[in-house]
């Protein structure tokens, strides 16, 4: 609500009071033109409350790091950058309200953030109507498609299509029998579609799909049927808590002895929450893993900066989106020499960046970030080298448009 | 004897396996006071609830002014001309005394109108005032009902029933919980009302019943065991047996 | 579809119903006796799971968690009854419902503050890990254990209600609260115990569910909705109803999972809507209480 | 349960009576000032929308005495139908608005028909269950509703009516346009409360048995009240949809119903101004506290508990009682 900045520890009382008076001043003179050289404000809605609070906090830390790095170098064209963090409560309506506030009251120059398909699409809708640049950092295929396309929106996150393509490529083989347990909502369907396409391309065989209700707590009733399908691979296409519970219960039913469990996205924080035993041997995709630092210099630089700013902690996958999303936007603003919307869009479309995980660029037609996809395997407890040493990098699928759907398939002009 | 206002024939009421009322047949003529007595659990309340439409009878028929009441929902009873008071004070506690009676009067004037101003229905105020005057509550009109003294609340309850201008008035223990002074006033009120309408009442105060009633019905274990004028009832051996056997001091 | 699979599915439905019964039974006992719809019931389920986790991690044994947590949370429930709910008995029946609704918020957030908003791993106790061959298929030993515990608890609760003075009072009170006053029973004390018992049961459900579902602050939200469905289908206040409806809902979910899995959640609510249309007071409910 | 302003007209409480007589203009005046008091227009529109839901809900809870836990269904249906009408069928905005209200009202009629047969706690449970059913149907019917992703693609950037064009992306203009509808709804609710029907629902709230004995068809009256209440909530839903240009699936969840109940109670159930005061206080509290700490729920929940325990009349009801008591 108020224009004070919310840090990781929350705003102090003084900040709030300052914000109140600033807010009052703003209300009194909404028409005052803003002088050049003013601070560049980036709105950052993220679910600080709710089941993804840990991911959200990581996102904030990473985004703040990106802002700090740019400000340390003197800002953009002499202007300081400020991050305005808002709690969207993982609720699309709340996110839309916060985004409206950020645009209408705080007059942000761009919005980065959101951590769920629904919230991301809501923010996209609000920014699209008002011509505000938005860098989305949550996975969705829908947002790439023509219906939700916004020329102001750029997708820094992976999308289910590319994630599943990469994961399938390194797990499915000719003749592999695959069964699917799929959350019955858009994101689940998107992941299933991606896997099915890869399945056909790789010569694997689908032996069955079971849709489960979104947000289910118990998966035991699906297990007997999944087992009776006798697959080599069980693909669990859901996310967050659903994924954690589904994996845990599949393990309880002894499924892991008979089949390989594969998920589209392996989350650092879910692995933390469920423990190494259940996840042991599970393979899945990721946008980022700190262990990348051995191979990629930009990852090393990012990790080191993050460790320095956060008491030695390593950045997580969804957290890294906060960094790459904000940083790529700031790089483009730097190129554009300011915040002029059209110039920044042009700069983003031209941008080639390598800031955390190897080379990336935004594809022109749908503004999807073309980037590498990691395929990870969860380590056995005994094999963990350190507290955060969760995964082994099975493969790194290099950045390539070949794992994206084509522009024409999305209904967009190439 | 004129045609009966209300005639019930062989009515009974069961709750699961429990028979609360069985085979009661009686008819009630206009402008008479009839009392229903009986020991606790005799079925008096059930009888009243059946007569006022709260409970549909399990068996038997009821006719009011010749019209069969089978299937008539409870709220229609007031419109037909049957009104009642309750054993435990049953008013609208947070409304003013005047409002209590006014809203009861409104049931015959406007029930679903959402457009008009309720204050525009001034004739309701007159009716309410008249009913309050009849029970002697004119001076308490603006008080909130829950703050009235017990006796006044009982009177208010009768005013609520009265404003419907019923031909049959069912009074369930109108003097319950009253002191002697209040009881006396209530008796006077009932006598006054009895001049214009048929009254059926349940009471425990025998002296009052004998003085007030034209006729007494005695229920025992859900059955009608006696029906007659006060003298007949007083000398009825069956009634004596029931009451003396109970030895609960009602007689 | 072969018979073995259907039999297996039926069995998973029963096992699923077991947890539902634990939660719904507590909800139903509290309602039947106190007339209070406990909206914090799901949150207390979650608090029970966390308490179990905490005790287990302190003592290094799941068994201590299973034993201590329900009792401790039951006592906590009694404190809630004493401090927050008792002042409301003379008021509208809606007030305890509203209060417990707010209490649910507070409990969830308190747990987030104490244990973080992420889930915490709760591994299956090693003694009960692995699967058993039931002849019709493989089933986790832990889930068999849960069915056993729930059955034992049901027998205990039944004995307590049928054979003790406390049970007599509770049964009489559920039928007609006025009777207790007539009998000169210390109602306040009984209500306190009943609330504690109900909360203890849901906390036990929470501890039992923890190794299957992991522990997180939101785990009670869905459970609350499910428990409502079960109690309403069974008839609020009816203990037999809670048990029968718990099994019914569990089996309905597992059978739907076989034929139209994505409908597994909706079927619960549809079943409830159906029961309410045909029999508003629930399968075993008494119309008068409605 | 608090007293309605109306029922005290006869009482010696001049302030209250004076407020009651001018409650619609006073409310509109307060609403006009709202965007200048609150930190943002977006929040002000939210107060408007949630205030209106609470007003609609209050008609049922505060005045008729029925604790429904399913009003999210009507709120959400209004929003969804408006959004679908605009986004999929290119219906003009005012017609879409009317459709949303009609659909919400129709759903309220059906759910009312099914739930009013039950009483007390059962009524709360049944409304909760039926509204959850609506939630799951919306989740499943994703080709219409967008499922979990929510409904999008119906942004109204300008409103056209009788040759007038309003820039609907301008937050201040948007606020005042939406306020016109809210004000009309407030006038309508005030009308209902002032009408003979208003007396009847109060009587039913006060004593259902007595009202029935007086000759009122209690079930039918409740059903009408339920439907009217649903209509107002549906209108709030349509305004919500126009405001945010999205419909989140959460709008149908019982947590939304819970929030409506909390707002109404916080402000003062059974009072005309209460629901708006409640929505204002609730949203502002959530907003301010969530700036301090992500654990805002513990504060909101505790405040709610304290209100149930000590101030069951809510902010407005308590304020009025306190004024009257002096």
Both A225 and A333 in a single domain?
A: no
Contacts with D249 from chain A: Cβ below 8 Å: 92, 118
Picking from A146-150, B217-221, C270-274, D190-194, which range would have the lowest pLDDT averaged per residue? Answer: C270-274
Contacts with D192 from chain B: Cβ below 8 Å: 114
DSSP B4: P
Q: What is the pLDDT of residues C3-58, one digit of tens each?
A: 888 888 888 899 899 999 999 999 988 988 888 889 999 999 999 999 999 999 99
Both A190 and A317 in a single domain?
A: no
The yes-or-no verdict on residue C173 having pLDDT over 80 is: no
The percentage of chain D sitting over the pLDDT mark of 70, rounded to a whole number, equals 95
Verify whether the Cβ–Cβ distance C214 to A253 is below 8 Å: no
The yes-or-no verdict on residue D198 having pLDDT over 50 is: yes
The yes-or-no verdict on residue A114 having pLDDT over 60 is: yes
Contacts with A272 from chain C: Cβ below 8 Å: 118
The yes-or-no verdict on residue D109 having pLDDT over 90 is: yes
The CA dihedral of B132, B137, B139, B142, to the nearest 10 degrees, is: -70
Distances (CA, A) of A226 to A214, A263, A338, C154: 18, 15, 55, 32
Q: How far apart are CA B242 and CA B234, in angstroms?
A: 12
Q: What is the pLDDT of residues A351-388, one digit of tens each?
A: 999 999 999 999 999 999 999 999 999 999 999 999 88
Which residue, A238, A256, A288, is CA-closest to A390?
Answer: A288
Return the pLDDT at A178. Answer: 97
Q: B1-81+169-182+199-251 in CATH: which number?
A: 3.40.50.300
Please check whether residue B119 touches D, CB under 8 A.
yes
Both A154 and A89 in a single domain?
A: yes
Q: DSSP for D134-199?
A: HHHHHHH-HHHH-GGG-B-S----EEEETTEEEETTSHHHHHHHHHHHHHHHHHHHHHHHHSHHHH
Give Cβ neighbours of residue B164 (< 8 Å, ≥ 6 apart).
B78, B81, B83, B104, B105, B107, B108, D214, D215
Helix (H) / strand (E) element for B11: namely strand B6-15
The answer to whether the Cα torsion of A386, A389, A392, A393 is positive or negative is negative
Verify whether the Cβ–Cβ distance B99 to D196 is below 8 Å: no
Q: DSSP for chain C?
A: --HHHHHHHHHHHHHHHHHHHHHHHHHHHHHHHH----TTHHHHHHHHHHHHHHHHHHHS-HHHHHHHHHHHHHHHHHHHIIIIIGGGTTS-THHHHHHHHHHHHHHHHHHHHHH-SS-B--PPPGGG-SEEE-SSSEEEHHHHHHHHHHHHHHHHHHHHHHHSHHHHHHHHHHH-HHHHHHHT--HHHHHHHHHHHHHHHHHHHHHHHHHHH-B-TTHHHHHHHHHHHHHHHH-TT-HHHHHHHHHHHHHHHHHHHHH-GGGTTHHHHHHHHHHHHH-TT-SS--GGG-
- Looking up residue A188, the CATH number of its domain turns out to be 3.40.50.2300
Return the pLDDT at C175. Answer: 66
- Count other C-beta atoms under 10 Å from residue D133's C-beta: 20
Q: What is the pLDDT of residues A138-177, one digit of tens each?
A: 999 999 999 999 999 999 999 999 999 999 999 999 999 9
Both A132 and A54 in a single domain?
A: yes
The answer to whether the Cα torsion of C220, C222, C225, C227 is positive or negative is negative
Q: Which residue has the higher pLDDT, C174 or C76?
A: C76
Of C37, C102, C266, nearest to D301 by CB-CB distance is C102
Contacts with C221 from chain A: Cβ below 8 Å: none
| End-to-end CA gap in chain D | 21
Overall number of domains in chain A: 2
Verify whether the Cβ–Cβ distance A274 to C214 is below 8 Å: yes
Both A337 and A253 in a single domain?
A: no
Helix (H, G, I), strand (E, B) or coil at A135: strand
Q: What residues in chain C have their Cβ under 8 A from chain A's Cβ atoms?
A: 2, 5, 8-9, 12-13, 15-16, 112, 116-121, 123-124, 130-131, 137-140, 142-143, 212-214, 216, 218-219, 222-223, 253-254, 257-258, 261-266
The percentage of chain B sitting over the pLDDT mark of 90, rounded to a whole number, equals 59
Return the pLDDT at C39. Answer: 93
Average pLDDT over residues D292-297: 83
The yes-or-no verdict on residue A29 having pLDDT over 50 is: no
Domain of residue A152, residue span: 34-158+296-370
Both A258 and A392 in a single domain?
A: yes
Verify whether the Cβ–Cβ distance A221 to C254 is below 8 Å: yes
Of B95, B102, B117, nearest to D195 by CB-CB distance is B117
* Residue C181 pLDDT grade (very low, low, confident, very high; cuts 50, 70, 90): low
Both A88 and A206 in a single domain?
A: no
Verify whether the Cβ–Cβ distance C106 to D297 is below 8 Å: yes
Determine the residue among C24, C41, C105 to mutate to test chain D binding: the one whose Cβ has the most chain D Cβ atoms within 10 Å: C105
- Give the residue on D whose Cα is nearest the Cα of C288: D119
Verify whether the Cβ–Cβ distance D301 to C97 is below 8 Å: no
Both A263 and A350 in a single domain?
A: no
- Report the neighbours of C using a cutoff of 3 or more CB pairs below 8 angstroms: A, D
Verify whether the Cβ–Cβ distance B92 to D221 is below 8 Å: no
The answer to whether the Cα torsion of C69, C75, C76, C81 is positive or negative is positive
Q: What is the pLDDT of residues C224-247, one digit of tens each?
A: 988 988 998 998 888 889 999 999
> In the predicted model, what is the mean pLDDT of chain A?
89
- Give the residue on D whose Cα is nearest the Cα of B77: D215
Return the pLDDT at B4. Answer: 84
> In the predicted model, what is the mean pLDDT of chain B?
89
* Residue D13 pLDDT grade (very low, low, confident, very high; cuts 50, 70, 90): low
Q: What is the pLDDT of residues B7-41, one digit of tens each?
A: 999 999 998 778 899 999 999 988 889 999 988 88
* Residue A5 pLDDT grade (very low, low, confident, very high; cuts 50, 70, 90): very low
Return the pLDDT at D1. Answer: 36
The yes-or-no verdict on residue D14 having pLDDT over 80 is: no
Ranges of each domain in chain B: 1-81+169-182+199-251, 90-165
Alpha helices in A179-316 (DSSP H): 186-202, 223-228, 240-252, 268-274, 276-279, 297-309
* Residue D140 pLDDT grade (very low, low, confident, very high; cuts 50, 70, 90): confident
Distances (CA, A) of B25 to C150, D26, D149, D291: 56, 61, 68, 74
Task: Please report the ipTM that was assigned to this predicted complex.
Answer: 0.89
Q: How far apart are CA A173 and CA A176, in angstroms?
A: 5
The yes-or-no verdict on residue C176 having pLDDT over 80 is: no
Both A302 and A342 in a single domain?
A: yes
Ranges of each domain in chain D: 35-254
Q: Could you tell me if A160 and A194 are in contact, meaning their C-beta atoms sit under 8 angstroms apart?
A: yes
Please check whether residue C274 touches D, CB under 8 A.
no
Of C97, C101, C269, nearest to D133 by CB-CB distance is C269
* Residue A238 pLDDT grade (very low, low, confident, very high; cuts 50, 70, 90): very high
Return the pLDDT at C183. Answer: 66
Pair of tokens at residue B245: 């056997």
- Give the residue on C whose Cα is nearest the Cα of A271: C121
Both A274 and A316 in a single domain?
A: no
Q: How far apart are CA A303 and CA A293, in angstroms?
A: 7
Please check whether residue D206 touches C, CB under 8 A.
no
Both A267 and A393 in a single domain?
A: yes
Verify whether the Cβ–Cβ distance C12 to A210 is below 8 Å: no
Return the pLDDT at A7. Answer: 38
The yes-or-no verdict on residue D12 having pLDDT over 60 is: no
Q: How many A×C Cβ pairs under 8 Å? A: 115
Of A221, A252, A275, nearest to C142 by CB-CB distance is A252
Distances (CA, A) of B199 to B165, B166, D214: 12, 10, 17
Return the pLDDT at A382. Answer: 92
Return the pLDDT at C180. Answer: 63
Verify whether the Cβ–Cβ distance D249 to A92 is below 8 Å: yes
Q: Please, what is the Cα angle at D179 between D175 and D182, to 5 degrees?
A: 145
Return the pLDDT at A274. Answer: 85
* Residue D43 pLDDT grade (very low, low, confident, very high; cuts 50, 70, 90): very high
E-strand ranges in A142-241 read 153-155, 177-183, 205-212, 233-237
């Amino acid at each position: 609500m108020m224009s004070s900045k919310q840090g990781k520890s929350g705003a102090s009382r003084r900040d709030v009071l300052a914000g109140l008076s600033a807010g009052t001043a703003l209300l009194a003179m909404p028409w005052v033109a803003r002088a050049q050289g003013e601070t560049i404000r980036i709105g950052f809605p993220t679910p600080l409350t709710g089941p993804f609070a840990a991911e959200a906090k990581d996102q904030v830390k990473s985004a703040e790091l990106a802002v700090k790095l740019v400000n340390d170098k003197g800002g953009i064209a002499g202007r300081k950058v400020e991050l305005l963090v808002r709690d969207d409560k993982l609720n699309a309506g709340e996110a839309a309200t916060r985004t409206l506030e950020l645009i209408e009251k705080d007059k942000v120059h761009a919005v980065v953030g959101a951590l769920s398909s629904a919230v991301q699409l809501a923010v996209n809708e609000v920014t699209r109507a008002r011509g505000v640049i938005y860098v989305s950092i949550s996975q969705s295929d829908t947002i790439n498609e023509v219906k939700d396309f916004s020329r102001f929106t750029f997708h820094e996150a992976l999308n289910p299509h590319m994630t599943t393509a990469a994961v399938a490529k390194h797990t499915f083989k000719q003749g592999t029998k695959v069964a699917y347990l799929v959350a019955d909502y858009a994101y689940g369907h998107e992941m299933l579609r991606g896997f099915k396409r890869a399945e056909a391309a790789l010569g694997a065989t689908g032996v069955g799909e079971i849709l489960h209700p979104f947000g289910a707590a118990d998966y035991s009733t699906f297990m007997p049927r999944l087992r009776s399908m006798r697959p080599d691979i069980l693909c669990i296409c859901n996310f967050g808590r659903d994924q954690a519970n589904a994996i845990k219960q599949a393990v309880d039913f002894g499924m892991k002895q008979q089949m390989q469990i594969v998920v589209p996205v392996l989350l650092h924080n879910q692995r933390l929450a469920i423990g190494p035993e259940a996840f042991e041997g599970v393979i899945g995709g990721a946008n980022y893993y700190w262990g990348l630092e051995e191979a990629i210099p930009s990852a090393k630089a990012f990790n080191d900066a993050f460790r320095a700013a956060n008491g030695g902690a390593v950045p997580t996958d969804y957290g890294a989106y906060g960094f790459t999303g904000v940083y790529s936007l700031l790089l483009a603003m730097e190129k554009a020499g300011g915040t002029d919307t059209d110039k920044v869009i042009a700069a983003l479309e031209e941008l080639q960046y390598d800031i955390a995980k190897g080379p990336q660029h935004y594809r022109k037609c749908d503004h999807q970030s073309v980037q590498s996809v990691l395929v990870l395997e969860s380590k056995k407890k005994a094999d963990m080298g350190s507290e955060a040493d969760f995964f082994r990098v099975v493969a790194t699928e290099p950045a390539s448009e070949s794992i994206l759907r084509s522009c024409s398939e999305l209904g967009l002009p190439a | 004897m004129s045609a009966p206002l209300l005639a019930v024939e062989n009515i009974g009421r069961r709750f699961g396996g429990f028979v609360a009322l069985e085979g009661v047949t009686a008819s009630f003529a206009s402008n008479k006071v009839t009392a229903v007595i009986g020991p606790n659990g005799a079925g008096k309340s059930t009888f009243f609830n059946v007569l006022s439409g709260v409970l549909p009878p399990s068996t038997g028929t009821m006719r009011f002014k010749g019209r069969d009441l089978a299937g008539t929902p409870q709220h229609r009873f007031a419109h037909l001309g049957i009104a009642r008071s309750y054993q435990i004070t049953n008013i609208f506690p947070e409304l003013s005394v005047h409002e209590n009676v006014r809203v009861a009067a409104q049931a015959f004037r406007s029930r679903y109108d959402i457009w008009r101003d309720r204050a525009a229905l001034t004739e309701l105020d007159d009716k309410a005032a008249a009913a309050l005057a009849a029970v002697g509550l004119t001076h308490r009109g603006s008080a909130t009902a829950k703050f009235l003294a017990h006796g006044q609340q009982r009177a208010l309850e009768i005013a609520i029933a009265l404003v419907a201008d019923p031909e049959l008035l069912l009074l369930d223990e109108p003097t319950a919980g009253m002191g002697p002074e209040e009881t006396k006033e209530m008796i006077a009120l009932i006598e006054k009302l009895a001049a214009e309408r048929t009254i059926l009442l349940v009471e425990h105060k025998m002296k009052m019943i004998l003085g007030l009633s034209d006729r007494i019905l005695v229920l025992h274990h859900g059955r009608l065991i006696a029906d007659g004028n006060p003298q007949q009832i007083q000398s009825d051996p069956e009634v004596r047996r029931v009451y003396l056997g109970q030895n609960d001091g009602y007689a | 579809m072969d018979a073995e699979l259907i039999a297996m599915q039926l069995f998973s439905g029963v096992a699923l119903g077991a947890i539902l019964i634990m939660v719904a039974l507590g909800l139903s006992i509290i309602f039947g006796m106190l007339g209070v719809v406990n909206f914090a019931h799901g949150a207390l389920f979650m608090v029970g799971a966390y308490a179990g986790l905490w005790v287990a991690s302190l003592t290094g044994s799941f068994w201590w968690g299973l034993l201590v947590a329900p009792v401790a949370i039951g006592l906590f429930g009694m404190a809630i009854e004493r401090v927050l709910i008792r002042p409301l008995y003379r008021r509208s029946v809606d007030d305890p419902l509203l209060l417990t609704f707010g209490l649910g918020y507070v409990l969830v957030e308190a747990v987030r503050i104490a244990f973080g908003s992420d889930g915490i791993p709760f591994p299956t106790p090693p003694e009960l890990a692995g699967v058993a061959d039931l002849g019709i298929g493989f089933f986790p030993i832990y889930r068999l254990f849960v069915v056993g515990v729930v059955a034992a608890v049901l027998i205990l609760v039944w004995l307590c209600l049928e054979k003790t003075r406390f049970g007599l009072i509770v049964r009489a009170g559920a039928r007609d609260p006025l009777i207790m006053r007539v009998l000169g029973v210390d109602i306040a004390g009984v209500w306190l115990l009943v609330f504690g018992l109900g909360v203890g049961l849901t906390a036990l459900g929470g501890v039992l569910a923890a190794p299957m579902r992991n522990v997180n602050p939101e785990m009670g939200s869905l459970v609350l909705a499910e428990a409502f469905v079960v109690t309403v289908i069974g008839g609020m206040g009816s203990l037999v109803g809670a048990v029968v409806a718990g099994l019914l809902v569990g089996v309905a979910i597992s059978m739907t999972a076989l034929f139209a899995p994505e409908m597994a959640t909706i079927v619960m609510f549809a079943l409830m809507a159906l029961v309410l249309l045909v029999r508003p007071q629930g399968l075993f409910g008494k119309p008068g209480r409605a | 349960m608090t007293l309605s302003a109306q029922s005290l007209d006869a009482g010696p409480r001049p302030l209250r009576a004076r407020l009651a007589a001018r409650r619609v203009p006073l409310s509109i005046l307060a609403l006009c000032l709202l965007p200048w008091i609150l930190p943002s227009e977006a929040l002000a529109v939210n107060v408007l929308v949630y205030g209106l839901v609470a007003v609609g809900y209050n008609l049922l809870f505060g005045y008729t005495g029925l604790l429904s836990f399913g009003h999210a269904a009507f709120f959400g249906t209004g929003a969804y139908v408006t959004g679908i009408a605009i986004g999929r069928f290119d219906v003009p905005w005012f017609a879409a608005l009317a459709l949303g209200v009609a659909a919400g009202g129709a759903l309220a009629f059906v759910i009312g028909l099914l739930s009013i047969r039950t009483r007390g706690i059962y009524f709360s449970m049944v409304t909760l269950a039926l509204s959850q059913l609506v939630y799951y149907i919306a989740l499943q019917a994703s080709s219409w509703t967008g499922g979990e992703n929510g409904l999008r693609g119906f942004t109204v950037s300008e409103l056209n009516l009788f040759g007038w064009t309003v820039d609907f992306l301008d937050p201040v203009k948007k606020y005042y346009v939406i306020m016109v509808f809210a004000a009309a709804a407030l006038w309508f609710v005030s009308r209902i409360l002032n009408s003979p029907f208003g007396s009847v629902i109060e009587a039913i709230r006060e004593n259902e048995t007595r009202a029935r004995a007086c000759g009122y068809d209690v079930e039918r009256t409740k059903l009408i009240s339920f439907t009217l209440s649903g209509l107002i909530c549906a209108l709030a839903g349509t305004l919500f949809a126009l405001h945010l240009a999205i419909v989140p699936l959460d709008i149908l969840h019982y947590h939304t119903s819970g929030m409506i109940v909390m707002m109404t109670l916080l402000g003062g159930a059974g009072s005309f101004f209460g629901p708006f005061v409640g929505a204002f206080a609730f949203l502002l509290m959530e907003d301010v506290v969530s700036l301090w700490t992500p654990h805002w729920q513990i504060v909101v929940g505790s405040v709610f508990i304290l209100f149930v325990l000590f101030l069951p009349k809510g902010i407005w009801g308590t304020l009025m009682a306190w004024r009257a008591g002096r």
